[in-house]
Amino acid sequence: MIDELKKGLSLCDDKYADIRYEEDEMTRMSYRKELESFYNSVQNGFHLRVLAGGGMCSASFNNREDLPRIMKETSAAAKIGRKYRDREIDFKLAKPVTDRVLPAPRENPRQVPLEEKLRLLTHYNRLVLKMPTIQSTILYYYEWVKNKSYLNTENNAVEQQQVICGISGEIIARDGKSMENVRASVGGCEDFTMLRNREDVFERKAQIVSDLLRAEKPASGTYRVLLNQPMVGLFIHEAFGHFSEADLVKDNPGLLKRLRIGNQLGPDFLNVVDDPAQYGRPGYYVYDDEGVRGTRTTLIKNGVLTGRLHSMETAADMGEDLTGNGIAVGWRHTPIVRMSNIFVEPGEMDFESLLDLVGTGLYICDAKGGSTMGDEFAFGAQYGFEVRRGKTGKLLKGINMSGNLFVTMKKILGIGDDIRFGERGGCGKDGQTNPQSGSGGPHTVIDDVIIG
């Protein structure tokens, strides 16, 4: 395919162009208590970007025979677009490479028969439904295979195959008028081995949701809390991570002032990293969709803001280094700045020491979604526990936490030594839902968190 792309780009006489060909295959089978759906789809197409006359334009198309016409039209549109901007668009370019990247899992999901995948999903579904209080499930097996070819006019040529598979969904319990649900996920990577022998995950979550039927809600108020690893991952991704994406802050002077490199955002033991090279995590990749090799980016070091994530456009615009975070969810989309695997680095405190630090408060577990508005956040948890005198007590449900990012970051009191990543990725931005976005961290204590 690279040779075909070279023929196409040879038609370009503008400042810069790149073209990406992508073939996306998706397999999904799902249960809603009973087997509900089973499908496989394949889509493919091209995405072209042209820098011309100080403007930029992109186009998506299916038929390679249309490339000469689309190249001409895209160039003309880029020049017209410049008239409506206050400055020229430019790209910071990486050193050209020629590379081909293939997955190397212990067990490639593409080599596992569909019947075996269905048997495994059915096994976990039946295992959960054996419990008398479990009313229903919404469990599904998913598998994405992306074959990508990228070329630009600087002779940067990258071919790569990306694979991600997993089993995920909800477990729903009911007892009379009371109904509760929790989520369970395994996999989220290219290795099918991570889906096997995971009965403990589904059994544990089924027991938790059954126990939640008899649990109480915490009283509204301000608490010292201990967040478990999935909650820390949610917090650092949603509340802070999006502010590390340069395209969301570069044109916001007020936000940039608060997020100036060198600003103190948290305690001196807080370190936050984005790293696509974390193999086996949902956000693993070698090259982004601009042909830039993904790099480990330290976003916060010793509580100080030290970096942010970039595409080629934002790196040029802000005069900062490339990080390899230009991601598109498919050939229909142009790359935008996305997190890969964002996480809080482990500290030195063990779990018991963190509970002692909480004293009296809440232990909040497993993310249930949330929302942000500017620097304000609100997150839900699947369950939690009362903490008294440094010991966990009764199970709690209906826990919602909220606060301000900049205030809450400075209220972090302790970070554990037990980092863990979620096994289900996903992030929505600008109409692109990216499954290859991971998060994690260790247990973390935060003071003065609003609950209710």
Domains of the chain: 2-212 (3.30.2290.10), 221-451 (no CATH)
444 neighbors 344 (Cβ within 8 angstroms): yes
| The amino acid at 450 | I
pLDDT for res 176: 86
pLDDT for res 221: 98
Instruction: Indicate the pLDDT class of residue 422, thresholds 50, 70 and 90.
Output: very high
Angle between helices 67-82 and 2-9 (to 10 degrees): 50
Average pLDDT, integer, range 259-264: 97
For the segment 108-159, what is each residue's pLDDT rounded down to a tens digit? 999 999 999 999 999 999 999 999 999 999 999 999 999 999 999 999 999 9
Task: Give the bridge partners for 152, in sequence order.
Answer: 18
Evaluate the CA torsion angle 296, 301, 303, 306 in order and state its sign: negative
338 neighbors 325 (Cβ within 8 angstroms): yes
How far from the centroid of its chain's Cα atoms is residue 58's Cα?
25
116 CB-contact burial (10 Å; exposed 0-12 / middle 13-18 / buried 19+): exposed
pLDDT for res 371: 85
67 neighbors 8 (Cβ within 8 angstroms): yes
Lowest mean pLDDT among 180-189, 207-216, 356-365, 425-434: 425-434
Q: What is the DSSP string of 347-412?
A: -SB-HHHHHHHH-SEEEEEEEEEEEEETTEEEEEEEEEEEEETTEEEEEE---EEEEEHHHHHTTE
324 neighbors 283 (Cβ within 8 angstroms): no
Average pLDDT, integer, range 262-272: 98
Instruction: Indicate the pLDDT class of residue 204, thresholds 50, 70 and 90.
Output: very high
Q: Which two tokens stand for residue 16?
A: 């810069």
Task: Give the bridge partners for 309, in sequence order.
Answer: 245
d(CA 12, CA 72): 8
Q: Which two tokens stand for residue 312?
A: 């080629």
Q: Are strands 391-396 and 221-227 parallel, antiparallel or unpaired?
A: unpaired
Q: Are strands 361-373 and 221-227 parallel, antiparallel or unpaired?
A: parallel
For the segment 54-102, what is each residue's pLDDT rounded down to a tens digit? 999 999 999 999 999 999 999 999 999 999 998 999 999 999 999 999 9
User: Three-state SS for 79?
Assistant: helix
Instruction: Indicate the pLDDT class of residue 33, thresholds 50, 70 and 90.
Output: confident
pLDDT for res 259: 96
pLDDT for res 214: 96
pLDDT for res 224: 99
Average pLDDT, the chain: 97
